[in-house]
Structure formats: C-alpha cells, structure tokens
Structure 1
Amino acid sequence: MGLKDDLLRGIYNYGFEKPSAIQQRAVMPIINGRDVIAQAQSGTGKTSMIALTVCQVVDTASREVQALILSPTRELASQTEKVIRTIGDFMNIQAHACIGGKSVGEDIRKLENGVHVVSGTPGRVCDMIKRRTLRTRAIKLLILDESDEMLSRGFKDQIYDVYRHLPPELQVCLISATLPHEILEMTSKFMTDPIRILVKRDELTLEGIKQFFVAVEREEWKFDTLCDLYDTLTITQAVIFCNTKRKVSSLTMLIG
C-alpha cells in the first residue's frame, strides 16, 4: 500500500495483521485522493480504516487541521479520535475530539495549540467553526461516518453548514450502512465522481470473530441464560449491551 513507515509501526503495534474487506478496498482510493462512498456497517473495521487513511494523508510538519471526521454520537467520535492517536502514535499525530458534554474552553485551548485531525459531532464542530476557533483553511479530507445515522438524528443542516465552511478543493469520504435518498442527494452535492464500495453481509464480521445468538422467549429468563453461558464457556472479559439504562443498572446489581 505504500504506507509511511511510522504508520506501519503504529498499525502493527495496534495489533493488525491482515486488513478487513473494507480496509482492502477503501484505503488506496482514499489515499489516492478519490471521493469514496463506502457502504459498510459497524464491525467491518471501518474506524481503523478511517484512522490509517487519515494518518497517511496528514502532513505532520503543519500544525493545522487537515482532516475532519463527523460522527453521529459523542462515543463514536471519541472512539475514532482515540484510534487515530493510537495508530498515529509513532508519527506524533495530534488529534482532538470536539464533542458536546466537554468543556468548550478545553476545545478552544486544544485547537489553538494546533492539531492535525478533528473528530467530532456536527453540532460542536459547527459551533467551533463559527467561533473561528476551528480553522478550516487547511482541511483537505472530510469523512462522514455513519451518515445515515447522522441524518436520522437531525444533523442534516449542521452537516451542510460545516461543508459550506470548508475549502472548495475538498476530498469527501462517506460511510453509511444504508443509502437512502437523502444520502444520495448529499453525495451529489459534496462529491466528484465518487468510487462506491459495498461490503457484503457475509464480509461484515472481522476474521477470527464468531457470532451466535440464543432465542430467549421471556424477559425473566434472560439473566439465567446469561449465567448459563458463563458457566458453560470460558469468558475472561466481556462487554454486555442492554437496550435501556435501567436494564444496565439492574443487571449490574444482579451481577455485582
């Protein structure tokens, strides 16, 4: 792929051995300056794909923002920023997460000190641009991550606002699980002759990960089923997702 040596060190240090399907297909077109529409869901390695392409195109000699990533949630924006800093550690890549819920003063201080990459939510990024704290003149790459989710959360106007403040010679990469009409409308306005990449459903799971499901008919049986899994399998570490905060709290107490 012709990646920078220090970037390769960061990639191997992060634990990568073999690129996923989305990484194999999307990295080179983005590095070569093409606009890209990547239809991919979570679990495809898209966040690390974003990180390594951003680290490759950034010029670390310039302490200006050169890449901007917009995400629908604070958690995803923060995760992306952390992966960029980890993979770009040997390159001394400076990245910052511009997200709501954090101090505006901290954002201002970080941006004034100079960063190469900003990962954020549309609302906070738009605010920082309008405050003239986030200077956009050197931005050459805009990545819209989980674009369909951003539109479903009502960020359309803010995305367009951000785009209007960016340089005319801009490379755009759009990542979305689905491509509804609003997404296609956005691509026609933001992009020039984009390459479209589709990751098929049978390629969604990263190599080495196995997926199983247990059909539990009644809510009150779920905890016992979870306990049975722990009794049956050797689980050293696990992340358990629940669909409400209340369930997280009650499960924590039960496990506690």
Structure 2
Amino acid sequence: MALGIDRTTDDKLEFETSTSVKVVSTFDQMGLKEDLLRGIYAYSWSGTGKTATFSISVLQSISTTSRETQALILSPTRELATQIQSVVLALGDYMNVQCHACIGGTSVGEDIRKLDHGQHVVSGTPGRVFDMIKRKHLRTGSIKMLVLDEADEMLSKGFKDQIYDVYR
C-alpha cells in the first residue's frame, strides 16, 4: 500500500511504500501465468481497467485443467455481466478459459446447457445465478473466488438478500 506520492522535477512519480510491499512496474514482474500474460498483452485496454484488474486476479487463481466453476462474479446489470464475460474471455484467450454470462432475460435452457458443459468462470446477475444454484446446474463446490462488482450499487438496488443466498 502506497504511503505517499512525491513529485520529482522530471514529472515521474515516486512511491514511498512500507517495506512489506513490493512495487512492480510491469505485468512481467508480477509472476503471472505465461498464457495469462499473452492475453494481457493482446488485450486492447479501454476505460479505467477495473474490470480487467479483477479479471486478471480471477484468471491467475483458476486451473483450466478442471472444468468446474472456480470463480463467480456478480454484477447489478445484464450488460455489465456480459461485458465482464467478454473481458475474461479476451484476457484468458490463450488459457482456453470457459466463461459464461448467466443473466436474466436469456434462455434458461442455454444457461443449463453451458453450465452442465462446465465453466471455469461464471459472470452473472444475482437472480439468475441463484436460480441456477437452486436448480443444481451451477455447482459451487469448487468456487474459490467470489467477486461483487459494483457491490454498493447492488446493495442499494435491493440485491442484498439474493447476494446473501448466493454466498450461502
């Protein structure tokens, strides 16, 4: 965690950190999987990079040798869940990652088919995700990461109970 920022005369930023924090300036220095690095460098960056930031963490933590769902990303809107799916698939392109957007307003049958086939990552809205868990098509036994994107917005929109049900 950065403790302060000092500006030098040549407009470069210097970060003063605690001794336990290792500062890296490139993705190469982060110790990421080789195929994930390839996906990162092939990805066209846009926006603030928040979605890419947690997507990289998700992709680093999963194993593509198992076809089980290992990460679940919840979002307040269908559009955001679909955008997250696109980012995960783009960054994980060289990893052969499977990611499905599990959202309302789409075919329940298609969700069932995709989930039964096996997805490493599921991005979705709380209602549809919980429905697939209740129907036992989204198996949660191998999930090691739960991401709540825009958690403040989800909680203010009344998703609190659904999020709690998914968490349980």
TM-score range, shorter chain: 0.7 to 0.9
Q: Find the counterpart in structure 1 of residue 161 from structure 2.
A: 157
Rounded to whole Å, the distance in 2 between the matches of 1:111 and 1:50 is 22
Q: Find the counterpart in structure 1 of residue 40 from structure 2.
A: 11
Q: Which amino acid aligns with 2:42?
A: N
Q: Find the counterpart in structure 1 of residue 51 from structure 2.
A: 47
Provide structure 2 residue ranges, at least 5 long, that are not aligned to the other structure: 1-29
Rounded to whole Å, the distance in 1 between the matches of 2:124 and 2:156 is 17
Q: Find the counterpart in structure 1 of residue 137 from structure 2.
A: 133
SS at match of 2:66: coil
Q: Find the counterpart in structure 1 of residue 68 from structure 2.
A: 64
Q: State the aligned residue count.
A: 139
Which consecutive segments of 4 or more residues in structure 1 shift more than 2 A?
Answer: none
Could you report, residue by residue, the CA deviation over 1:206-242 in whole angstroms, capped at 9, with x for unpaired residues?
Answer: xxxxxxxxxxxxxxxxxxxxxxxxxxxxxxxxxxxxx
| In the alignment, structure 1 residue 148 sits paired with structure 2 residue 152 | yes
SS at match of 2:73: strand
Identity %: 71
Deviation at 1:153, TM superposition (A): 1.1
Question: Could you tell me the TM-score, scaled by structure 1's length?
Answer: 0.53
Deviation at 1:51, TM superposition (A): 1.4
Could you report, residue by residue, the CA deviation over 1:47-100 in whole angstroms, capped at 9, with x for unpaired residues?
Answer: 011211111111000000000000000000100011000110100000000000
Rounded to whole Å, the distance in 1 between the matches of 2:102 and 2:156 is 20
Q: Find the counterpart in structure 1 of residue 31 from structure 2.
A: 2
Question: Could you tell me the TM-score, scaled by structure 2's length?
Answer: 0.80
Structure with higher Rg: it is: 1
Rounded to whole Å, the distance in 2 between the matches of 1:103 and 1:80 is 19
Choose between structure 1 and 2: higher strand proportion: 2
Deviation at 1:9, TM superposition (A): 0.5
Provide structure 1 residue ranges, at least 5 long, that are not aligned to the other structure: 17-42, 165-256
